[in-house]
Structure 1
């Protein structure tokens, strides 16, 4: 218990020391850590601190503790060291004094003294450690003071360095500004010198251009001309400079002088080349039949083109320079003048040769051959001229208009020669052949193959083609009027059906059997189809459509007129079959033509004027008002459409219906009349009053007695069995196509079967079986088999 109390008192006595030492240690540690981060020590300093730490760590033990640690000097366990009255443990001779404890109070006092002594001994090492740390802190404070002084001096040094750097930068910036200003001044001086150079060049260029040795062929001419163009361009783009307009006028004068020298030089070179070629032409020419000098065909290309190209080859570079500057107005005009000069010189050389050659073709060849030869020769001339022109003017050669002054007169020679021939031509076949030659051989083959090189010939060919087509159209209209509309048929043309019978007999056993013989066609039909087939590939669709419309109408009218004549000569059936035959052929033959046969016409309609004048007379309107006058004298434009193909179909349908009614009337007319009377009797019977007398039965009527009916049916059956096969045979004579005959005979057969069916129904309803047996009428199945076997 006493021991516990003593321990409690020890703990309470040690608490203030620990509470005092702990903050000091913590504060020192934090300061040291911060100092290490802010002011790191050198290696030498760190080594010194480490040595101090080692020396402080190796402290000797106190003497009395060291003595007690020796086993030989330990006191006995029983005795207890006594203490002096002050509470200090008695020491002496290296051993504790033995104290006798007689009471509890003495024990507590002894224990308290002993505890105090132990406390003092325990705290001693902490005091020494605190003293050591305090010394270290003082040392650190001294070091800090020294470092603060050093840092202050370092801050001064840094401020001085910053001031020096700022002054250096300012000096550097000032130097850079001076350098930039110098460069700007140099650039300004160079720019000013460059701009002044253009004005200073006036005197230099003027002196060189007016020099007596200056010529277009000189090597200095083109560079000098280029420099002149640069000066003009610069002065033109900078009108704000002083005296720029004056300098521009002077530069322009020099440019005009230079370009004039170019024109003169080119003209002289072309003339010299032309003289050389003319000399060569005379050496290679012969006297023609007309007294004109004509160059031989073998030497024509060499003399007219190769020699001229060689003679004028020195112009090529100059022409290319002029073409490269053709975007400017002055050079464009000069280039136009040079191409005109070139075309004039070439035309003087070539025109007589080309005219002689075409005249020679015209004398010895017919019109188709002349067209082929003339176009082929002129196409070759155009190609050679284009190649030669391209040698001098590479850029301008891409535009055919530049070569037009040369090629148009040459092509006009061929056009005039051809037009003088075909304008009097009346043969449609020959005119169609000319169109085929111009479109197929010339445009598609010759010009299509040469393309750009023969483009100069294209306008002349198109003009010639248009004139030939116009002549062909006129002759086609005349042909249709004379040979189709106004055709006068001969007796042989109207000899139907004998003409068909002869053709059928001649075709028996041959390959033509069963086909429609063209020789049996009515001549206007043949001429119409032949004319349309020729014109279809030769004329434009719009022109051909109008001609086809007129031709079909004329042909249809002519066939109908001839049909009436055949009806008077042969029979009505022959006339109708003739008309059906030829209308079918006409419809079939025009089907391949890929055109629209409808034509829209415009007409002025004045029918509304009458009503308006009536209103004026009645006083309902005024004639003198501007609105009334406009209404009165403004016609209405009416559009109406004519379709020749539809009109043809309409006429064909009407003719077929007339033929069907004719055959029906011939075969079963008595039956139709009989059924009409029967219908009238039955209608009268149904509509009689109730108080009227009972009418006679149908078989009691005079026209419907069994005997009368049997006689009538017998006559009809005889006609059907005899004439229907003849009619079908005649249909086969006119209509070669079996399907056409079947279609045409089908309504006839239906009419015959329907009439017989009505009579048979009447026999079943109104006659006794015995009376019906007396009537010799075929049943429907037998009649149908009979009719189907005919066609």
Structure 2
């Protein structure tokens, strides 16, 4: 490097050229990547901004683009400390670079060393601060522990205070509960003092409050038997209660007797003639004075009724009811008895029943209203007034009973049932059921007696008037009895109200239907069923007996038509009764006992072997046999049988010759068939049918003419009788239809036989009518 600065460029030596070439070769042989170049550019910018080291002055160094030479400007190399010579070789460059790197490193280390020192100082400062913070935290932790200890002690103190307060409250409540429980026991002396006081009675204003307190004490002691001496206190409390209830009973009796005495005094003063239980009697002294007495007793009686759920008060209330009924009965007994006796003397049994029941209902209603003033909560109970109402009802019952026993008229008895069942029980009691409920048992008792008497008289009537009926001559005068009626009687089987219709009926039939129509609404269905079954059965038997008598007096056909007529009427008239005409009869059968006894006597069975079927119990036990009788079915069966008999009798009357002819022909054919099988035939059997004596053309013609004459003469007579006995055309048609069928069938059978045995000329000479003509002829008779 030159000694002094020069603006001229430094001479280039061969070493510089070689170094440059080396650098260029190096650069080419080891090219930098783009990333490395970017890093070098960044480093260059960073270095350019940094100051030169102290020993290198920027003013005397000028950079060149190739970075291989420097030239001083203002100062010498000695002043700036720069390299004095020019770098001419690689060694010099490396040395220079090493020196420069050392300088830079020294500069960099100084910076970091200064930074390290700064950090060290700050770390020391932080350590000092941390020591102080640790000391502060130690103090804070100690303070926190002290605070926690104080808080724990405070909470413990608060909890102790709360426990003491709770304990105090519990002790206070216990003391109060103990005091409240002891109050019930302490009340004994107070209540006893008041109840044993001379001034204490049921009218005293303090009586009812003391009684209520006494009840509370008894209830409490009863519900807590575990307390000491509770049983002793309970006995004493009950003694006081009995005394109080006795005072109530005495007070009620006293007031009732006082009212009763005043009423009796008025009655005696009036001679007993003006006081009567009748309409408007509530305004009379009998009821007005007792209503005033009800006002006096109302507070006490209401108190008793409100506690009637307890046994002792229920007994006292019942006793008050009894005392009331006794006093009332003593007043109205004579009046009711006198009034019913007056009815009995003046009126017949039905009107007596109606008047007596109406009067008793009036008395019962008034008494119930008065009873409601005394005991409003108990008036709904029917049994409460029973000691008063029942004796009054007995007067009517005792009056009606003897008359009822001697009453034999079914109409009167049925009227009694209608009065009791419809008018009294159905209308009056249903309209005023609450106030008249006390009469119901007696009325039902009277009704039951009427039913019993009616049932007995009905059975007697069925036995005497139907089963044992002895007909008069005029009762059996058929068909003259029907012929005497003016005009044509119609509607007999449909229950026509024309009196002429009933005159044609056999009396037992009319009595049966009349009896059943009366009993149907009066008796219970089960009782009526039994009576109806019996009545229909004996009526049917009675009609059958009369039919046999008429058959002897007039003709068998009259007897049959009479029976059919009356059975039809009976069947139709009992149809509206909505009952089953069946009765199950149970009987005890001992017929098996004889065989068991024989086995026991022979030693085949033991009398005392209870484990076998031959035990004594089984041996001596009868068997129950049930036998069901249905009168309606029996009636239908009898009617059907008699209709069939009538049909067959009429059929036989008209076509009997034809039937005999067909029978003979059938017998001959059977004989011929059996003869050919046995190979035994005689000349009679082998002859053709028309050559037989009974089947000759003349004989057949004769029987055909005879049947034709019967159809012309006998059948109209039969139809006339049917019209006389059976007024209903539909009934006659039903009955005549099988007769017509039988007649036509007989003609068909004869025609069939004649066709097979006779020539057409012979059949024409016989004179057999065609079936169509026969049917037209028969239809014209209807």
Task: Name the TM-score class by shorter chain.
Answer: 0.7 to 0.9
Trace 1:377-776 onto structure 2 (pairs within 5 A): 377-503=359-485, 505=487, 507=489, 517-612=501-596, 615=599, 620=604, 627=614, 633-688=620-675, 689-690=678-679, 692-693=681-682, 695-776=686-767
Contact 2:672/2:681 (8 A) holds in 1: no
Going from structure 1 to structure 2, the CA distance change for 1:111 and 1:412 (only over 3 Å counts) comes to: same
What is the 5 A alignment of 1:91-490?
100-111=86-97, 113-114=99-100, 136-281=122-267, 287=273, 294=276, 297-490=279-472
Q: Please give the root-mean-square deviation of Cα atoms over the aligned residues, in Å.
A: 3.5
Distance 1:501 1:119 in 2: 175
Q: Conserved in 2, the CA contact under 8 Å of 1:323 and 1:335?
A: yes
C-alpha distance in 1 between matches for 2:69 and 2:317: 145
CA distance in 2: counterparts of 1:473 and 1:376, whole angstroms: 26
Normalised TM-score (structure 2): 0.85
Q: Distance in 2 between matches of 1:92 and 1:166?
A: 85
Go from structure 1 to structure 2 and tell me whether the alpha carbon gap of 1:126 and 1:216 turns closer, same or farther (over 3 Å shift): same
1:609 positional shift: 3.5
C-alpha distance in 2, partners of 1:150/1:124?
38
Deviation string 1:204-227 (CA, Å, 9 cap, x unpaired) is 212111222212111100111122
Identify if the C-alpha distance between structure 1 residues 595 and 99 changes in structure 2 by more than 3 Å, giving closer, same or farther.
farther
Call closer, same or farther: CA 1:325–1:295 in 2, change over 3 Å.
Answer: closer
Query: For residues 603 and 342 of structure 2, what CA distance do their matches in structure 1 show?
Result: 80
For 1:91 and 1:757, locate their aligned partners in 2 and report how far apart those are by CA, in whole Å.
182
Paired with 2:769 and 2:105, the residues of 1 have a C-alpha distance of: 166
Q: Distance in 2 between matches of 1:92 and 1:532?
A: 174
For 1:739 and 1:424, locate their aligned partners in 2 and report how far apart those are by CA, in whole Å. Answer: 48
Contact 1:496-1:570 within 8 A present in 2 as well: yes
Q: Indicate the SS of the match to 2:625.
A: strand
Q: Deviations over 1:569-593 (max 9, x none)?
A: 2211111111111111111111221
Which stretch shifts more, 475-484 or 324-333? 324-333
State the partner residue of 2:17.
Answer: none
**Does structure 2 conserve the Cα–Cα contact (< 8 Å) formed by 1:514 and 1:736?**
no
- Offset, 1:769: 1.5
Task: Classify the secondary structure of the residue corresponding to 1:638.
Answer: strand
Would the aligned equivalents of 1:524 and 1:555 in 2 still touch at CA under 8 Å? Answer: yes
1:80-123 deviation line (CA, Å, top 9, x unaligned): 5879xxxxxx9997897686222234344444555565666677
Query: Which deviates more, 191-200 or 331-340?
Result: 191-200
Cα distance in 2 for partners of 1:501, 1:123 equals: 173
Partners of 1:193 and 1:621 in 2: CA distance: 84
Secondary structure of 1:639's match?
strand
* Number of the residue aligned with 1:31: none
Note the alpha carbon deviations across 1:695-748, whole angstroms, 9 max, x for none.
Answer: 111111110001111111110111123222332232222223333222222221
* 2:281–2:287 CA contact under 8 A, matched in 1: no
Preserved CA contact (<8 Å) 2:77 2:84: no
* CA deviation profile, 1:661-685 (whole Å, cap 9, x unmatched): 1111101111111111101100111
